[in-house]
Structure 1
Amino acid sequence: MSAEITTPGPGANVKVLRLERGWLQDRLAGKAGMSKSMLGKIERGERPLTQGMGAVLANAFGITLDELLGHAPVNADDEDRLTELRAAMRRFDLPTSAPVGVQQLDDDLAELFRLRGDADLSSVTHILPGLLRKAQDQAHATGRPEDWSKVADVYSAVYWLAARHRWMTLAELAVVKQRQAAERSGALALAVAARDEAGTFLNGGDFAGGLAVVDRAVVQAESTLHGRTRHLALGLLHLRGMTLAGRLQDKRTVAQHIKGARKAAEVIDSDANVQGVHFGPENTLSHIVATHVDLKKNADALTAGERYLRDGYTLPATRISPLHMNLARAKLALKDRDGAVDSLIEAWNTAPQMAKVHPTSLELSRVLVSLHKRSNPKVTALAKKAGIRL
């Protein structure tokens, strides 16, 4: 089972897990194939734990990446809602009441997508149980593919919520149900389901397995979809493939997925909201920035990301906050600590609920607070947001 985060910053879990096993740094460093100096910096908060390094360390411990990162605790106010959500998921094939009507369901879905875009995790948690029941009841009543597509949309949101908190049992169950609904819908829903399935591999640190899921889905989308829908599906899959390949440091595969995503984005022209997930030129750029940082192309990431923010953007908070996190990563790698603090504060301000549980924001907060030895009001404010004691 994964541990609940009690110390902000997943890198802090490395030392805890090592000491639980009675290992010295030499043993863990040797099993992970990294230097003892690098391991010490991660444990002391002098260098951030990237998810690539986290996957290596998790493998050395014999656990998954999400277990190493730790899961976010469930707020007391959300416990009952999550219980209701699990109950609704169990009744996937058992309608519970008469359908509410197409317009009401569409309105509720639009509200879900708005809340997801705003990264309002708490409100998404509260709306999901009832909406899932409504969507499943409607699909059972009509049997129409378009209604099963709506069920798949809701399960995609369940996966998103669970993945943000690293509640991986819930996330993995959600993608199973999502695929079952997508199989009763159509090829686009299946592509989105595959994207989310690959996301569970990403969260678990099995980047090669996730790429295999993406590759299989790309072949299926290319053979079953046409027109704009084909490009939307392929674009979403290439974005996931880009991230997975970046975590593997596989530059050749990264280049292939960037090329595929850009080709699809040129056809889409402007970002579209596909089943609650955005794809287009802007989201492609945000993923390229993140992958540049994974590949240590930090100057390129800064140039592209800062120009994008300066020229104006339409992406929602759920994408802009991680972009600021990745710019903070790049700045920290380039020794611009003050700039990294500014970018990370922007990430917190843009989507505070996401930043509170996101492993990247928590890890960067831990490291930046540790590295700033002198008094700094911005760092003090950042520590307060992240719950770090000075």
Structure 2
Amino acid sequence: MSTTELAPGANLAALRKERGWSQAYLARKASVSVSLLSKIEVGDRALTPAVAAALSKPLGLTMAEVLGKAAVARDSGEHLAALRSAVRDYDLPAQHEVHGDRIATALETARRFRDDVQLTQLLAILPKLLRDATTLAHSANTVEAWAGLSDVYSIVYWIAARHRWMDMADLAVTRQRWAVEQRANPLGAAMAARDRAGAYLNGGDFEGGLTIVDRAITAAQSSLSGQDRAFAVGVLNLRGMTLAGRLRDKAEGKREAERHVASAAAAAEWFDRDWNRHMIFGPQNTATHVLATRLDLGKPHEALSAAEDIDTVLDGLPPTRVASTRINMARAQLDVGDRDGALENLTLAWGVAPQMARIHPMGREVFRVVSSLHRRSNPELLRLSKLSGITL
């Protein structure tokens, strides 16, 4: 039942009914109110990541599975199977020669597809790129070759996490860490830890993810210097504030989040504009994460205040960041009762990254709630309904 045909709240209802559970039973097991669960299932309230994490435990699922796995495009099934096979064959390099310059070019193309959220194109090139990078790493056995392989696994993790394929995401971060440990690479180790903490995030284990982040920050501070250290520490703090914002204890979440916000802001002072090296970090991406964290902490007005100059903040950031931020703004506007504003930002998200908007769980969930609450005919609702596959 967990496919992109169902938005998260509707997917939750389907999962509960499959088990033959009443709303009262699930609510009691998850320690949430029956009223909230009912509103989520009928589309009057959005299913947030924190609530999804609480509900996932009695269901025996990850948070990502409650939000709903996304299906690949109809003609991408073979590419997905090939990618799974390449991930399994991590220690089986090919016998033919590969050229480092061609792999570097292919890796740069993969990064561009990731940043532009060209999911179909990315999935098509990843299996060969992963096999070639594996072969080069084993044959060259250099820091650069193993770092390149680690970067490919980071992209594999990214596409798996976007679709909520958590088995592949978990395996990818394990392979990423293994690759970066073959030759000392402190910056690569920080990026691997960031992705590993992301797997904890998607699994709903926010406390465990914070432990990974804090340990990696300590390591980066001792092993790196200058802008490399600021970049690594900054990227890790962005992950830390996201994890903190989703802690169930919001008082603790606020304390942890503010610690990571302050540390990220200090690291961002090293940069005039955001760097895009493996990940994106700088003052702009820090601002988008602060917005999202305020929202996760249940402070939508604060989130919208942080977005007052959002066009400037988003200027120059890649579509993957722009679309997710527009979706977060839509969620915040929905929380404060601005349905038209929420629909406008969803439309902007669809415009900049349609492939992401279609599979983004919160984008789909906010649209479901907006369409449920709207009391008048709206051409934009009809258009997005057709694009998303969510019926009005």
**Which letter maps to 2:382?**
T
Tell me the equivalent position of 1:298: 300
Tell me the equivalent position of 1:370: 372
1:164 Cα offset (Å): 0.3
Contact 1:8–1:386 (Cα < 8 Å) also in 2: no
Is residue 2:317 matched to residue 1:315? yes
**Cα 1:311–1:113, aligned 2, differ >3 Å: closer, same or farther?**
closer
**Which letter maps to 2:345?**
S
Q: Deviations over 1:139-175 (max 9, x none)?
A: 1221111110000000000000000000111111111
Q: Percent identity?
A: 48
Write out aligned runs for 1:58-69 (5 A). Answer: 58-69=56-67
Tell me the equivalent position of 2:360: 358
1:196 Cα offset (Å): 0.5
**Which letter maps to 1:231?**
A
Tell me the equivalent position of 2:283: 281
Contact 2:7–2:68 (Cα < 8 Å) also in 1: no
Tell me the equivalent position of 1:197: 196
Tell me the equivalent position of 1:50: 48
Contact 2:147–2:188 (Cα < 8 Å) also in 1: yes
What SS is found at the alignment partner of 1:243? Answer: helix
Contact 2:137–2:146 (Cα < 8 Å) also in 1: yes
Tell me the equivalent position of 1:209: 208
Contact 1:58–1:65 (Cα < 8 Å) also in 2: yes
- How many residues matched? 387
* Structure 1: 4+ residue segments shifted above 4 A: none
TM-score (norm 1): 0.96
- Out of 160-169 and 103-112, give the one that drifted further: 103-112
Contact 1:242–1:257 (Cα < 8 Å) also in 2: yes
Unaligned segments of structure 1, at least 5 residues: none
Tell me the equivalent position of 2:134: 136
Tell me the equivalent position of 2:233: 234
**Which letter maps to 2:356?**
M
Write out aligned runs for 1:1-390 (5 A). Answer: 3-5=1-3, 7-185=5-183, 186-248=185-247, 249=250, 250-275=253-278, 277-310=279-312, 313-390=315-392
**Cα 1:312–1:179, aligned 2, differ >3 Å: closer, same or farther?**
closer
Contact 1:235–1:265 (Cα < 8 Å) also in 2: yes
1:84 Cα offset (Å): 1.7
Q: Deviations over 1:85-120 (max 9, x none)?
A: 222222222220444323222211111111111011
Unaligned segments of structure 2, at least 5 residues: none
1:310 Cα offset (Å): 4.6
**Cα 1:266–1:60, aligned 2, differ >3 Å: closer, same or farther?**
same
Q: Distance in 2 between matches of 1:88 and 1:39?
A: 41
Q: Distance in 1 between matches of 2:4 and 2:364?
A: 11
**Cα 1:83–1:21, aligned 2, differ >3 Å: closer, same or farther?**
closer
1:32 Cα offset (Å): 2.0
Contact 2:163–2:359 (Cα < 8 Å) also in 1: yes
Q: Distance in 2 between matches of 1:12 and 1:117?
A: 29
**Cα 1:149–1:6, aligned 2, differ >3 Å: closer, same or farther?**
closer
